[in-house]
Amino acid sequence: MSADPKPITSVWTRPHRSQREQLTREQIVAEAIELLDAEGVEALSMRKLGTRLKAAATSLYRHVANRDELVQLAVDEVFGELDPPDAVGRTSWRAAVARTATDLRAMVLRHPWVGPELGQVGLLHIGPNATRATAGLLAQFEAAGFPAGEEDQAAGALMSYVIGSATTEAAYLSLIAHSGVPEREWVADRSPDFGQDTDPQQVRESRFTYGLDRVLDGLATRLAPGGRSS
């Protein structure tokens, strides 16, 4: 007789320990995000995090099984920064989706380590905040009138553009930050045609908006006038 299969374990199904404990999972995740924002994923270790929290690394393992679980928790926590997507109708979907995309870009720029990590988080371990954000985006496309089953592909195309472009932008900003030179000066030194009155941040905003508009233009072709699918 075969042995009973082992249950699938996940950081999302494991019960929290008592909040009466001196160190909580919430404190651990918050400190991990600060470390990730400041130094990147490569710098994250349970030992280093324990030092920052003035706690032994072993005490962290009472709340988080390993470093990978900690990153999963951190990814989902920053997804919680996103506002709930607007409810939309067939004629207002585009503005609402654009707002969601803009909020997502801003989140990735605040946390430059997130973009590369999103590809490493397995679908079985996506947390509640990321699930809520994804479900909200899907609901926007459903309300717009995309064909059944196609709203998922539409959301995927949008997410790919936003996360891809924001991850590249975050890497660019990280490079400038490490140089210790203001962005305007950094760009001017490398671009002789760069105007002194040009705001590089506005240039980045315009480039993102242009790409976002073109993605939405393409998606809109799947809808007939009035928002119904073509």
Determine contact, residues 200/184, Cβ cutoff 8 Å: yes
For the stretch 195-204, pLDDT in tens is: 778 899 999 9
For the stretch 9-54, pLDDT in tens is: 567 666 665 555 678 999 999 999 999 999 999 999 999 999 999 9
Mean pLDDT of the chain: 87
Q: Which amino acid is at 163?
A: I
For the stretch 123-142, pLDDT in tens is: 545 789 999 999 999 999 99
pLDDT at 142: 92
DSSP string, 95-143: HHHHHHHHHHHHHHHHSTTHHHHHTTS-GGG--HHHHHHHHHHHHHHHH
Per the confidence metrics, is the pTM higher than 0.75?
yes
pLDDT at 12: 67
pLDDT at 7: 52
Residues with Cβ within 8 Å of residue 68, at least 6 apart in sequence = none
pLDDT, average across residues 57-85: 91
For the stretch 217-227, pLDDT in tens is: 999 999 966 54
Higher pLDDT, 10 or 76: 76
pLDDT at 2: 53
Higher pLDDT, 85 or 66: 66
Q: What percent of the chain has pLDDT above 70?
A: 85
Determine contact, residues 56/50, Cβ cutoff 8 Å: yes
Query: In a 3-state reduction of DSSP, which class is residue 223?
Result: strand
DSSP string, 198-216: --HHHHHHHHHHHHHHHHH
d(CA 10, CA 76): 14
Question: Which region among 166-170, 180-184, 208-212, 224-228 has the lowest average model confidence (pLDDT)?
Answer: 224-228
Asked whether the predicted pLDDT for residue 193 surpasses 90, the reply is no
Q: Which amino acid is at 221?
A: T
DSSP designation for 163: H
Q: Model confidence at 194, in pLDDT bands (50, 70, 90)?
A: confident
Asked whether the predicted pLDDT for residue 228 surpasses 60, the reply is no
